[in-house]
Structure 1
Amino acid sequence: MGNVLGPAAPRAPRRGEPLGSPGSFDELHRQCKEVFPQQMEGVKLIVTKTLSSHFQVTHTVHMSTLGPSSYHFNATFVGDRQLGPTEAFPTLVGDMDNSGSLNAQVLHLVAERIRTKAVFQTHQAKFVTWQFDSEYRGDDCTATITLGNPDLLGESALKWVATLNVGYGGAHASYYHRANEQVQVGVELEANTRLQDTTFAFGYQLNLPQANMVFRGLLDSNWSVGGVLEKKLPPLPVTLALGAFLNHWKNRFHCGFSVIVG
């Protein structure tokens, strides 16, 4: 006798993988901004010293040819509660320059999903600004309330991050994409309603781990092009950086060289 097979049961529709949390709202723009090279001018020396597993200090000396030279002292304290490779609470960061100006940040974990941040800034002996943030970290979303600079919309994925901030003074949008382990790109658009000005910038980053080198390039709507090349010198804790920037519209060119120890 043969076997008789009944009709197969219909398969349930496949569901996509659940979205993960996009992380801190401040980190959404950070990935895009890190792709862009920082302009270099003059000579800069950075020395970092780790005093303990919780405390680190950094000395920065910048000798400029366009403006006054400066010295910055930065101190960072990190608490015992570690939630990730880049998250520990409480965290206190302070940066003071030779003129007495201070930038300070305090990050604290109120509950498992609620993080708070306070930012204070002074210019010489005068108090300039302050800002308080409260952030709720969900399973697949992040909600942030900022006193002084509202952030309205943020969305992220695994290999790309798209963000939009809207405030009274205008709007700021950015897009970050990680093509692979070596190539990252970022696009940034900022509109200022007070100055009636809109700027656009494109940046890219090339990682060459075998050569211990990182290159960042920039092209913006102000006809500026530039790049910064960083070269590590293992086993020494030294990084050399060389940068050059050219503005075609203003016919301006400047370059810089820095040594980073630590």
Structure 2
Amino acid sequence: MGNVYASTAPPPLTTVPEPPPAPVAPTEPEESKSRLTTLEELHKKCKDIFPMPFDGARIVFNRGLSNHFQINHTASMSSMQPLASGYKFGATYVGSQIVGPGEAYPVLLGDIDPSGNLNANMLCQFHPRLRTKAVVQIQDSKTAGYQVSNDYKGDNYTASVILGNFDPVTFSGMSIFHYLQPVTPTVDLGAELAVQFGPQIPDGIISALSVAARYTSPNNFILSGTFSPHQLHACYYQKASDQLQYGVEVDTNIKMRESYAKFGYQVDLPKLDATFKGSISSDFGITGVYEKKLAPLPLVLTLSGHIVHGRNPLYRFGIGLTLG
């Protein structure tokens, strides 16, 4: 980042040292490429700060068997979600194909319970520009659903093709096409085309087109939205400081004339090794999740609470402990 010049004799008085070259501002394509994402990640910054509540008790034990392989055991009890209660065994494998800081491929992860119900995920990068993701769910010895997506990253755009629950016998399923491109240093524009086909659908096929936009401000806030003739989904994300982030999510069904809004925030407390996420929704719901590292032990304590006020009140509280 700098140069040091040494000489055995001072330069002549008439010589004026040249100033170091000024840093070159990144060009528009470089700035756009630094924030290049897929349309699926359009609202990711905002959604990541919202808490994920749970109820009952949960214990997770993680153990790394090598630099690439890790297993975990999960035992949970829930009165609101009895199907999620019980024991699950999980495994994660991360390959040695390193493509960036903290990014390596392939990634294989999944979990299974004693009844044989399986959730499996695969993430591979066969080419520097092409990434493939696959998700499979097996319930009661039957394939409950699967999805395969391919993301292509160009020089200044991303394109994705997603295929879900495709049945070649009945020729039914769903296809989704994504496209997102930066058009200015702060604005991204894109589109989504969803196509569902099958014999049970009138005329055999139905499609829906929506457009997407995202504004990334130099002042650490992001405004994103997807728009269709029947639905509007918008998010606002703001990073106020290194410790505080907050955002707002609004989902409006124009055809049904219904709207749902949620405000969320995340507070990081580095001195306490703790993180708190909270949210307030338009249906009078209040949610909070607190995570605390119990140093020097390899333990993480999680406290969760979710309350919905109204005619049918709902109260959910949970406590979790993660080892390893």
The bucket for the TM-score relative to the shorter chain is 0.7 to 0.9
Does 1:91 find its partner at 2:107?
yes
Does 1:142 find its partner at 2:158?
yes
Q: Which residue matches 1:9?
A: none
In the aligned structure 2, how far is the partner of 1:38 from the partner of 1:73? 21
Counterpart of 2:283 in structure 1: which amino acid?
N
Which deviates further from its counterpart, 140-149 or 98-107?
Answer: 140-149
Which deviates further from its counterpart, 62-71 or 205-214?
Answer: 62-71
Counterpart of 1:46 in structure 2: which amino acid?
V
Encode CA deviations 1:147-192: one digit per residue, 9 max, x unaligned.
Answer: 2363424647474444445789966443333222111112223356
Q: Which residue matches 1:111?
A: 127
Q: Which residue matches 1:125?
A: 141
Counterpart of 2:78 in structure 1: which amino acid?
S
Q: Which residue matches 2:319?
A: 257
* Residue number among 282, 287, 290 corresponding to 1:226 in the alignment: 287
Counterpart of 1:53 in structure 2: which amino acid?
N
In the aligned structure 2, how far is the partner of 1:180 from the partner of 1:15? 24
In the aligned structure 2, how far is the partner of 1:39 from the partner of 1:128? 24
* Residue number among 82, 99, 102 corresponding to 2:98 in the alignment: 82
Does 1:56 find its partner at 2:70?
yes
Mark the CA change 1:42 to 1:15 in structure 2 (over 3 Å): closer, same or farther: closer
Answer whether contact 1:96 1:103 (CA < 8 A) is retained. yes
- Structural RMSD (CA): 2.8
Mark the CA change 1:173 to 1:74 in structure 2 (over 3 Å): closer, same or farther: farther
Mark the CA change 1:118 to 1:154 in structure 2 (over 3 Å): closer, same or farther: farther
Encode CA deviations 1:69-99: one digit per residue, 9 max, x unaligned.
Answer: 2222221111111122342111111122333
Runs of at least 5 residues in structure 1 that lack an aligned partner in the other structure: 1-13
Which deviates further from its counterpart, 207-216 or 162-171?
Answer: 162-171
- SS of the equivalent of 1:256 reads strand
In the aligned structure 1, how far is the partner of 2:233 from the partner of 2:302? 29
Deviation at 1:143, TM superposition (A): 2.1
Deviation at 1:44, TM superposition (A): 0.6
Aligned residues: 249
Question: Greater relative contact order: 1 or 2 (C-alpha under 8 angstroms, separation 6 or more)?
Answer: 1
* Residue number among 242, 247, 251 corresponding to 1:186 in the alignment: 247
Encode CA deviations 1:82-138: one digit per residue, 9 max, x unaligned.
Answer: 122342111111122333221212111121111111111121211111111111223
* Residue number among 200, 206, 209 corresponding to 2:270 in the alignment: 209
Answer whether contact 1:21 1:141 (CA < 8 A) is retained. no
Answer whether contact 1:22 1:156 (CA < 8 A) is retained. no
Pair member with larger Rg: 2
Counterpart of 1:32 in structure 2: which amino acid?
C
Counterpart of 2:65 in structure 1: which amino acid?
L
In the aligned structure 2, how far is the partner of 1:57 from the partner of 1:24? 30
- SS of the equivalent of 1:110 reads strand
Mark the CA change 1:149 to 1:255 in structure 2 (over 3 Å): closer, same or farther: farther
Counterpart of 1:99 in structure 2: which amino acid?
S
Deviation at 1:16, TM superposition (A): 6.5
- SS of the equivalent of 1:235 reads coil
Runs of at least 5 residues in structure 2 that lack an aligned partner in the other structure: 1-24, 164-173, 179-191, 193-211
Which deviates further from its counterpart, 211-220 or 83-92?
Answer: 83-92
- SS of the equivalent of 2:48 reads helix
Mark the CA change 1:110 to 1:165 in structure 2 (over 3 Å): closer, same or farther: farther
Identity between Structure 1 and Structure 2 (%): 36
In the aligned structure 1, how far is the partner of 2:138 from the partner of 2:232? 26
Answer whether contact 1:184 1:204 (CA < 8 A) is retained. yes
In the aligned structure 2, how far is the partner of 1:15 from the partner of 1:231? 39
* Residue number among 86, 93, 111 corresponding to 1:70 in the alignment: 86
In the aligned structure 2, how far is the partner of 1:52 from the partner of 1:156? 42
Counterpart of 1:113 in structure 2: which amino acid?
R
Deviation at 1:45, TM superposition (A): 0.4
In the aligned structure 2, how far is the partner of 1:91 from the partner of 1:162? 31
Q: Which residue matches 2:18?
A: none
Query: What TM-score results when the alignment is normalised by the length of structure 1?
Result: 0.82
Answer whether contact 1:28 1:161 (CA < 8 A) is retained. no
